[in-house]
A and B are shown apart, each in its own frame.
Chain A
């Protein structure tokens, strides 16, 4: 049976208006919405004629406007949230790199307490930019981590992520206010400590609950690794500017190398336990083949560089060249250890 013209025309207009909805929603439900509207038109036209159709159109127009806006907002939020979570992981990693770069540049500044733009302006501005941008990216990365994974981390994990976000914001505030007040240093360190402790503790939750599909150890590493980097930067800056004894830099770098070796060792043991192939002989072999060469190599490079290129022999350039060479030795060892850690990660999570 053919529908009256008023019903047919109404359904055509309504079907045309459905174009206002987001494409995916329209593709999924547009046909069914038009069908429901057609059924409603038939009923109201049969019962009350033109007044029924007018009333139906009034209700449906309001419904259309309201739900079109709702669907667009929901779609926009979903897309933005997904993108935000995806990019925030990269933001966190980039924040770590910038932060480390800032610290390394800062370690070449020989006059730590002069105003910005002094004799080592390049290093000072580089340090400031690295620290500030690094912290901004920490905040973004942690917000993304919370937005994407708080729901599956349980109440403790979610609370730790909130604490980490708060810590990163406080830490950023401390960095920004560093030249304004002496208390900024305490604010920075307080926020920084909260951020890293919370992140490391969240890592334990992540490992236990398998929050991510893999790399659940990463927050623990970040929570430990970032403070280690910071320690190195501070010790390096203090030794170059002459505010700390020379050996403090060596001690800090050594502690970091030992820390990386320990992380590498723990991952190696975890991987062996997973494969049910753990034994003490292999552990001894691991020390001999992987740990000892790092320690000997680092000590040898550190000592050899001092003898091969004595700072005094190069005049004004001596100290930067010496520091650069030691930094190179440190970076080589650190990268070697990081590669070993990544290999152990892959073995642990891929079973290859």
Chain B
């Protein structure tokens, strides 16, 4: 069902969904780890609250962009009730297409010299 959906149909992504997919690009994480990763990646500029985080997770699970993982990196160091999430194949494709879309916009901005003096 979700696999048959075109990645294009999800674009453009909301900032929260894009950052969550980006945070999961290098492996599965639980909710708080996703939140920390997003804050770290954006140097504190994006700070998601629990409602935004889990509201987005709920919609991403339903759309097939991410899935829950049963694996635990180290069960002895972690609360077993934590849920871990990882990207699906569709999630990877959507993230890639969104990054390409943004790169094209960046190239356009450069050609128009919008970013002159910044980059």
Residues on A lying within 8 angstroms of B by beta carbon are: 21, 25, 28-29, 31-37, 39-40, 59-60, 62-64, 66-68, 70-71
Contacts and interface: CB of A to CB of B under 8 A. Distances in A.
A158 to B, nearest CB: 13
A68 B51 contact: yes
B58 A25 contact: yes
A66 B16 CA distance: 14
A85 B66 CA distance: 28
Interface residues of B, number: 18
B52 A67 contact: yes
Nearest to B56: A67
Contacts, number: 57
Given A28-B58, A32-B54, A64 B81 contact: no
A64 B49 contact: yes
Given A35-B82, A62-B49, A64-B49, A29 B54 contact: yes
B32 A33 contact: no
Contacts of B83: 32
B42 to A, nearest CB: 14
B7 interface: no
A33 B47 contact: no
Interface in B1-56: 31-32, 35, 47-55
Nearest to A55: B47
B58 A63 contact: no
A33 B82 contact: no
B57 interface: yes
B79 interface: yes
- Chain B binding surface, main DSSP class: helix
5 contacts: A33-B31, A35-B81, A35-B82, A60-B50, A66-B51
B35 to A, nearest CB: 6
A147 to B, nearest CB: 18
B54 A33 contact: yes
Contacts of B31: 32-33, 35-36
Contacts of B49: 59-60, 62-64, 67
Contacts of B54: 29, 32-33, 36
B81 A33 contact: no
Contacts of B81: 31, 35
Contact of A32 (B47, B48, B52, B82): B82
A228 B65 CA distance: 48
A28 B61 CA distance: 12
B58 A40 contact: no
Contacts of A25: 55, 58
A70 B55 contact: yes
A64 B48 CA distance: 11
Nearest to A28: B58
Nearest to B49: A63
A74 to B, nearest CB: 8
Contacts of B47: 59
The 7 A-B residue pairs with the shortest CB-CB distance in the complex, in nearest-first order: A63-B49, A67-B51, A33-B50, A29-B54, A39-B32, A36-B50, A63-B51
Contacts of A21: 51
A59 B50 CA distance: 10
A60 B47 CA distance: 10
Contacts of A67: 49, 51-52, 55
A67 B83 CA distance: 21
Contacts of B51: 21, 33, 63-64, 66-68, 71
Contacts of B79: 35
